[in-house]
A and B are shown apart, each in its own frame.
Chain A
Amino acid sequence: MVEITVTVNGAPQKAGVEPRTLLVEFLREQLRLTGTHVGCDTSQCGACTVHINGRSVKACTTLAVQADGQNVTTIEGVAAKDGTLHPMQAAFKEYHGLQCGFCTPGMVMSALALVERNRAATLTEDVIRAELEGNLCRCTGYQGIVRSVAAGAKAMGATVGKVE
């Protein structure tokens, strides 16, 4: 067992983990934060996407010990404390960015990261699609997701190009 301290959604969490524990296992099974999903478990689908120090990563391909001393944000840390949805979450609801919803936590976490990464430029549809490369959805055909991300980005103050 290794003792780690990870700040998760703003609160320091001290825990003992086996070195082989994945970050997603630590979040789901030890902290019971089950909003982060495991889809493929092979680094492809992105359902497990969380932020470490503001950057999107796949929690199924990160060891919990690698997050020691870092700031982790999961989907549970995105909405306001009173439950008011984050503008990106609200946009997913408004623009039908989901059907079954399994990929949605990862999509939202990737969307938030891509908006921040592209603050300096206009967010075009091509950029949104390219930046969602690491997230798979098997229901929507992505149209609603791309529209949601564009609307959410706009609500976050980003400059957004035309999205069909």
Chain B
Amino acid sequence: MYAFDYNHPKTTAEAEAAFKAGDDASFIAGGQTLIPTLKQRLRQPSHVIDLSGIADLKGITVANSMVTIGAGTCHADVAASADVRKAIPALAHLAAHIGDPQVRNRGTLGGSIANNDPAADYPAALVGLGATVHTSSRQITAEDFFTGMFETALNPGELVVRVAFPVPKRAAYQKFPNPASRYAVVGVMVAETAQGIRVAVTGAGPSVFRVPAMEAALAQNFSASAISGVQIPADDLNSDLHATSEYRAHLVGVIAQRVVASIA
């Protein structure tokens, strides 16, 4: 790891000021991606700004059919929250299957989405449930937030403060996990929301995406058989040592059908 200066602000305003003061600063939330990246010397920030001391970033509230989760809330707290389990069980289930218990005790919602790893679970929840990201300066819809592989709409120094998830009529998430890392080779969230059916896929492409053909078919007939014929083009999907793009394309259909069957 290269050397860096360390800041431990108590408010988002202090964190933003510290970011501006550094030549090439980086925020750290749970650090479950950043620390391994630093250890491999893939990044060399001048300053690391620790967000864990900012009370405003923590906590879960459920009100008016909306589950609002602070960016600094760790996956284990989302998974264990009785409120989340009651309002959106699919979201608690998703959080309960990220990485392993030790990772879930450190890793945070805000850190996960700001990193936008193509195989991360949370992007499927945000896009699938039609969530809104509240940052230190504005609100961004989930679909506008995730812009590409490890890319988001966040400006330099802009912080994710919380995410608001509308409570769906029904929703479920399943993934085909990498057997070693538990990252999603393919993960699918299907939700029936006030705005209609949403199908969001993570792990398969460079960034989370929706499948309009499945959404249209499910709107007509909410059953696994309704989407069994939907073909997912493999052209733009990820291909690596774990799975080819063709395999991932096939998995999207299989997992989506399983998800629908679980809540049909």
Contacts and interface: CB of A to CB of B under 8 A. Distances in A.
Contacts, number: 75
Interface SS majority for chain B: mixed
Interface SS majority for chain A: mixed
Interface in A11-52: 18-20, 22, 41-44, 46, 49, 52
B52 A66 contact: yes
A57 B105 contact: yes
Residue with the highest number of chain B CB atoms closer than 10 Å, among A2, A58, A68, A131: A58
Given A41-B39, A44-B180, A63-B31, A58 B103 contact: yes
Contacts of B31: 61-63, 66
Contacts of B36: 42-43, 61
A66 B102 contact: no
Interface in B89-136: 99-103, 105-106
Contacts of A22: 35
Contacts of B1: 20
B255 interface: no
A56 B105 contact: yes
Contact of A110 (B48, B99, B102, B181): B102
Nearest to A56: B102
Contacts of A55: 76, 105
B74 to A, nearest CB: 9
24 contacts: A18-B3, A19-B3, A20-B1, A20-B38, A43-B35, A44-B180, A44-B181, A49-B102, A55-B105, A56-B102, A57-B102, A58-B102, A61-B31, A61-B32, A63-B35, A63-B48, A65-B6, A65-B50, A66-B28, A68-B8, A117-B80, A117-B101, A133-B100, A133-B101
Interface of B: 1-6, 8, 28, 31-32, 35-36, 38-39, 48, 50, 52, 76, 80, 99-103, 105-106, 180-182
Interface of A: 2, 18-20, 22, 41-44, 46, 49, 52, 55-58, 61-63, 65-66, 68, 110, 113-114, 117, 131, 133-135
Given A18-B3, A63-B48, A133-B100, 8 more contacts: A43-B35, A61-B103, A63-B6, A65-B6, A65-B50, A68-B8, A110-B102, A131-B101
